[in-house]
Amino acid sequence: MRLLLMLVTFGVVLVVSAAVNSAAAGNAVTALVFGALTASAGLMVYRMMVRRLEKRPVDEAAGATLLPGVLRGAAAGVGLFAVTIALIAVCGGYRITGWGSVWGMLASLGTMTGAAVAEELLFRGVLFRLVEQWAGTLVALVVSGVLFGALHLLNPGATLWGAIAIAAEAGVMLGAAYTATRSLWVPIGLHLGWNFAESGLFGTIVSGTGTAPHGLLRSVTEGPAAISGGGFGPEGSVFAILVGGVTAAVLLRHAHRRGRIVRAGRR
C-alpha cells in the first residue's frame, strides 16, 4: 500500500513537473525558475511522505549533503557524457556545426533540473528503494531500470532499442549510484549532468524527445544508428551503453565493498 501510494503521488509529480517545465522551456529565466520550483516542491513532498509513512529521518535526502552530492554527481554526469560523445565523434557519428547560445544552454539547465529531480524521486527514491527492501538490490535494479526505460517509450521519437538502451545504461547506472552512496543527491546530480551535457552543451536530442536542442553548440548526428543513436539521440548508441555499463559496474563494486548490497529478505 505504501509503495502504491508513493508511486501514484510521484507519478503525478513527474507529470506536473514535465508539463510545467515544457511550458517554460522557451525562455532561460522562466525555465530556471520553474525548474528550481518544481524540483523544490517535489523534494518537499518526498520528505513529508517519508516522515509520515515510514516514521524515520529522510537520510537519503539530507540537506547537509545536498550541495556536495549534487555537484559530485553532476560533474560525473557531464564527464561521462563527454566521453560518450567523443567516442561517437571518433567513429564519425557526431560533428559540431557551429555555436548555439548561452541562453539556450541555461534554459536547458532549468528544464533538466526539474526533470532530473522528478524522475529520480520516482524511480530511485520510491521504486528502487522500496523494491530493494522487499526483494534486494538486484531485483530493484532490474525493476527500476526496465520501468525507467519503458517511461521513455512515451517520447515522440522513442524506439524499442532506445528504451532498452536507456534501461541498460541510465536505469542501472543511476540505481547503482544510489546503492553506492545511499543518497539521492548523487543520482540526481548524475542524471542532471548527463542530460544537461547532452542537450545544453553538445546540442543533441535527449531520449527521443523529438525536440530540437538549443544548447551551447549546434551539431548533427549521422551514420549508423548503432553508433550515433539515430533519432533517439546519443543515448541510443552502443557507446552510451558501454559507458553507462562500466560506470554501473564500478559503482556496484564500490557498494559491495562497503556492504551496501541488500540481499532478498534482508534489509
The pLDDT of residue 228 is 94
Lowest-confidence pick of 69-78, 139-148, 204-213, 218-227: 204-213
Whether 244 has a pLDDT exceeding 80, the answer reads yes
The pLDDT of residue 36 is 95
pLDDT in tens, 104-123: 999 999 999 999 999 999 99
List Cβ neighbours of 228 (8 Å cut-off, separation of 6 or more).
Answer: 88, 93, 94, 221, 222, 234, 237
Whether 206 has a pLDDT exceeding 80, the answer reads yes
